[in-house]
């Protein structure tokens, strides 16, 4: 009986140490991973450690979603408790061959962008219309500060899909993150649309450039 307990304790301890090692490895690796704006992931993490942030004085904890030694997909949560409270999750996916961030829309074949937008439209539009029914028209008009129902109708038809840029990879599926579709302020953020559009690598590959880094996901 004691041997069984010892084995269980050692197994849990080993898992904990491995998790700590993975987290530490990602923090070390963050110095070499470059974001689209030229800064490093570590620079960005530091920017979320100032006064007022939940992680004040400490780097945010990184969540690993995918790593096949060629593609790394991570995220981290941040929360600010200042005069204008806000919070969010930031997602990044990196090409580990170049150590550069992979911007989804840069990976789409120029000749297939319209087709990809239409593909996403067919997935997002039904979700947006369902979301509208969660509140009354008067509540929505108050939220948007409008008085015209026709104008309200227009707001619930998807436009400018290319502004949805956050994504992560998990289990060979690309999860496109709609994190506050209307970008409502904190006071009415609960009314906003938060959802994920799941795209299998098989479906995504149809729209990618021939030399896209995202094709390495299946390697």
With contact defined as beta carbons under 8 Å apart, do 177 and 196 qualify? Answer: yes
Structure token pair of residue 50: 């100032």
What is the average pLDDT across 183-195? 93
How large a percentage of the chain has pLDDT more than 90? 67
Per-residue confidence (pLDDT) for residue 111, from 0 to 100: 97
What is the average pLDDT across 57-76? 90
38 by DSSP, 3-state: which?
Answer: coil
pLDDT per residue as tens digits for the range 97-152: 999 999 999 999 999 999 999 999 999 999 999 999 999 999 999 999 999 999 99
If residue 196 lies in a helix (H) or strand (E), which one and from where to where? strand 194-200
Question: 207 CB contacts (<8 Å, ≥6 apart)?
Answer: 108, 109, 112, 113, 115, 116, 119
Distances (CA, A) of 115 to 111, 112, 124, 156: 8, 5, 14, 21
Cα 68 to Cα 89: distance, rounded to the nearest angstrom: 22
With contact defined as beta carbons under 8 Å apart, do 217 and 172 qualify? Answer: yes
Residue 48: band (very low, low, confident or very high) from pLDDT cuts 50, 70, 90: confident
Q: List phi, psi (to 5°) of 12.
A: -65, -45
pLDDT at 73 over 90: yes
The DSSP secondary structure of 93-159, one letter per residue, reads EEETTTTEE--GGGSB-GGGHHHHHHHHHHHHHHHHHHHHTTS-HHHHHHHHT---HHHHHHHTS--
Per-residue confidence (pLDDT) for residue 84, from 0 to 100: 74
81 by DSSP, 3-state: which?
Answer: coil
Question: 4 CB contacts (<8 Å, ≥6 apart)?
Answer: none
Residue 20: band (very low, low, confident or very high) from pLDDT cuts 50, 70, 90: very low
Give how far the C-alpha of residue 120 lies from the chain's centroid of Cα atoms, to the nearest Å.
16
Among residues 166, 174, 164, which one has the least CA distance to residue 65?
174
Structure token pair of residue 199: 């795209």
Per-residue confidence (pLDDT) for residue 219, from 0 to 100: 56
With contact defined as beta carbons under 8 Å apart, do 196 and 176 qualify? Answer: yes
Structure token pair of residue 36: 């689209």
What is the average pLDDT across 76-86? 81
Per-residue confidence (pLDDT) for residue 25, from 0 to 100: 67
């Amino acid at each position: 009986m004691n041997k069984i307990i010892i084995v269980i304790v050692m197994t849990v301890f080993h898992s904990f140490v491995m998790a700590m090692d993975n987290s530490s490895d990602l923090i070390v690796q963050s110095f070499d991973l470059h974001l689209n704006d030229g800064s490093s992931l570590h620079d960005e993490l530091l920017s979320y450690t100032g006064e007022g942030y939940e992680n004040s004085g400490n780097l945010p904890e990184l969540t690993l979603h995918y790593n096949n030694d060629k593609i790394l997909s991570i995220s981290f949560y941040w929360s600010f408790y200042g005069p204008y409270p806000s919070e969010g999750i930031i997602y990044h996916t990196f090409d580990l061959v170049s150590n550069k961030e992979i911007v989804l829309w840069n990976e789409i074949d120029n000749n297939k962008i319209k087709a990809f937008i239409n593909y996403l439209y067919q997935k997002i539009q039904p979700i947006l219309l369902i979301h509208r029914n969660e509140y009354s028209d008067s509540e929505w008009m108050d939220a948007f500060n409008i008085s015209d129902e026709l104008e309200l109708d227009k707001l619930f038809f998807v436009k400018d899909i290319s502004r949805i840029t956050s994504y992560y990879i998990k289990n060979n599926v690309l999860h496109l993150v709609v994190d506050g579709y209307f970008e409502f302020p904190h006071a009415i953020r609960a009314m906003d649309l938060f959802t994920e559009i799941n795209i299998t690598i098989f479906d995504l590959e149809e729209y990618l450039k021939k030399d896209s880094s995202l094709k390495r996901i299946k390697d």
